[in-house]
Amino acid sequence: MRQKALPFTKSQIETIVKQFGTPFHIYDERGIRENARRLKAAFSWVEDFREYFAVKATPNPHIVAMLHEEGFGADCSSLAELVLCERVGVTGHDIMFTSNDTPAEEYRKAMELGAIINLDDISHLPFLIKHAGLPEMLCFRYNPGDARFGNSIIGKPREAKYGLTRPQLTEAYRSAKELGVKRFGLHTMIASNELDPTHFVETARMLFGVAAELYNELGIKFEFVNLGGGVGIPYKPGDKSIDYEGISAGIREEYNCMPVPDSVRPRGIYFEMGRAITGPYGFLVSTVLHKKETYKDYVGLDACMAHLMRPGMYGAYHHITVLGKEDWPHDHTYDVTGSLCENNDKFAIDRPLPEIEVGDIVVIHDTGAHGHSMGFNYNGRLRCAELLLKADGTVKMIRRAESLDDYFATLDFSEFESSREANCATCKRCVG
């Protein structure tokens, strides 16, 4: 059975488990930073290359700040994400605000921070102006409909709720220009976890073409095109990683073929990857609590779907390593489960693994994006801690585990507590 590499040893994790308990997500700082630098190096030919890390993937201030140190911006889509960025010093055009069905207060906050506003619908332009004012720079999200295909995860662009049609795009930019917007960008996002590099080259060709058309129609010179995110990662051991250099070379060729004068070509090429940046460098560490043998063999962990939703929600594959048994024969077949009262609370179904015993430490790979961030409290389960394995080998807790006090903090028990106190005061068992 082919294995996936880990950035730590069994003894290191055992020491961490003694200190923090399980379950927890742990992120590899060295891996994240080296990956960020590879991406930047691949696109060094671009005058203004920028990766706006999709905060939704791993909304932790330590991760956002780390990537900001590497020259990345932040892709935000909610008020909480904007405030998180503000609190770690990421503001101005270091933020791209791409939202949908957006409340007025979120536009106001984005404008206050000086973020680049990326509108999802033509009707949002007057809404933005009414509630937050007119920005100097504006971007619209293009949905190509049947002109392009998404993938199995994000679905057909025509059926997606996001973005403007091609005719709407012309109308939107014309209106924005007439209203006084001075600077423009163009955005699209039509893939998720895509491993075919040609998809991103074709997306660049499409967006460069639309930018050229809008220049010819409206005289708008775009400062940047944002190709979105969606770059996938190899969840399975046999999957091949995306080659940044290969994507870059294809996009460069399309850029040089833009049917406009050199002076009109956008200076900026942006991405808003999340999964590709941090996904492979996160791990959910859990302890085996129980084994059960009925019609199938089950291994029950102290982690559950509340800590990693993707396998239960999407049937997504996440590789599993049983620490210390990497070289053992994978001659047992298990369903690896959590404790929720839902039968889809499974990290793996019919997975070949080495023989597992209660107390074994299990590592679930590739949880560095859309892992902890998709957690929830169904069944009263509490979200776990997040740890950072620093480049110097030390470990830092960057988010504590939730407590019962956190869980009950938003509930009002005052009526019941006063009633209980009154009952206790009159209870004969408590008198004298």
φ, ψ dihedrals at 216, nearest 5°: -70, -35
And the tokens for 317?
């594959």
With b for 16 or more beta-carbon neighbours within 10 A and e for fewer, the 9-44 pattern comes to eeeebeebbeebebbbbbbbbebbbebbeebbebbe
Nearest to 291 by CA among 361, 359, 358, 341: 358
Distance CA 413, CA 424 (A): 16
Positions of E strands within 217-281: 222-226, 268-271
| Residue that the structure tokens 């040609």 belong to | 198
Rounded to 5°, angle at Cα 149 from 40 and 166:
90
What is the distance between the alpha carbons of residues 81 and 32, in angstroms, rounded to a whole number? Answer: 20
Which residue in this structure is represented by tokens 């939704």? 56
**244: Cβ contacts below 8 Å, ≥ 6 apart:** 38, 39, 41, 42, 43
Euclidean distance between the first and final Cα of the chain, in Å?
A: 70
**Is residue 341 flagged as an active site residue?**
yes
Quote helix, strand, coil % in the chain, to nearest 5. 40, 20, 40
Tokens of 422: 């009154």
Which phi and psi angles does 401 have, rounded to 5°? -70, 150
| Catalytic residue (choose from 341, 384, 424, 430) | 341
**Which residues lie across from 96 on neighbouring strands?**
75, 116
Q: Where are the beta strands (DSSP E) in 295-390?
A: 297-301, 320-322, 332-337, 346-353, 361-365, 385-389
155 touches 191 (CB < 8 A): no
Find the helix or strand (DSSP H, E) in which 365 lies.
strand 361-365
Strands (E), 95-236: 95-98, 116-119, 137-142, 183-188, 222-226
By C-alpha distance, which of 352, 231, 371, 276 is closest to 314?
371
Which stretches of 55-157 are assigned E, i.e. beta strand?
73-76, 95-98, 116-119, 137-142
Only one residue has tokens 């991406």, namely: 39
Tokens of 235: 């969840």
Place of tokens 């696109």: 43
Residues noted as catalytic: 341
